[in-house]
Amino acid sequence: MTQKSSAHYQREYRRRLRESGLVKKEVWIRPENARLLAQAEKRLREVIPADAINEGELVMTDVKNTVELWTVHSLKAALEQEPPFSLNEATIELIEGASPSLLIEMKAFGDLPLFLTIAGEQIIVESVLWPLSEVADVAGFNDAVLRTHKYFPLSTISLDLMSNGESYYHMFGALSATSLLSNVLFEIDMLASNVIQATEAYAEFLNQPVANETA
């Protein structure tokens, strides 16, 4: 698969949001409420009947639970039954090998590819940001990441050596292999959103900065 910069997926993500009739709104919240905001944002992208909104408050419940240890195969089967996969808003493919993994393409985020692996009792979801060679000021970028990555909830940035011999920055999130299916879905959606936001936030450090768009 041809490796594309996260800037490509950011542009595609914005284009598809605009084409679907959505508008961008800026909000200010406490950091610990980031998960609630992400859930509310996802819900507000749907057409909601007026009587389903009680004084502006959206109530979200989760009735799915699991105490079993997920495997790549069982998790793929479960995810395929849930949105966004069941609605064809994302695709999921099993990559067999010594350590099987899942390739997830998030159509709503410009076909952004994510990779999900399970190592022991941990699920890891990750996505490539850009190669080290695309960063104009490596020291400045690394310093900025250390000071600001905490503002991307549930995600962390790493620098990893790939099989082609080149180092790439990745964004990843990790959770227990016994997690609720809803939490796995939330992790996938949150990581995709964070990749898009990180591309905009750190654009100034790249050799080809991403243009800052306004709605």
The answer to whether 78 touches 49, Cβ cutoff 8 Å, is: no
Amino acid 51: pLDDT = 57
The 3-class SS string of 168-199 reads: EEEEEEEEECCCCHHHHHHHHHHHHHHHHHHH
Distance CA 179, CA 72 (A): 13
Question: Block means of pLDDT (10 residues each) for the chain, length 215 residues?
Answer: 66 73 76 69 66 50 56 96 94 93 95 94 95 95 93 92 93 94 94 94 82 46
Buried b (16+ CB within 10 A) or exposed e, 49-63: eeeeeeeeeeeeeee
Q: What is the pTM of this model?
A: 0.69
Amino acid 214: pLDDT = 44
Q: Is the dihedral of CA 14, 16, 18, 23 positive or negative?
A: negative
Amino acid 44: pLDDT = 74
Q: What is the CATH number of domain 6-205?
A: 3.30.1460.10
Amino acid 25: pLDDT = 76
Distance CA 198, CA 145 (A): 10
Write out the E strands in the chain: 90-95, 101-106, 112-119, 122-131, 156-161, 167-176
Q: Where are the domains of the chain?
A: 6-205
28: helix, coil or strand? coil
Amino acid 27: pLDDT = 77
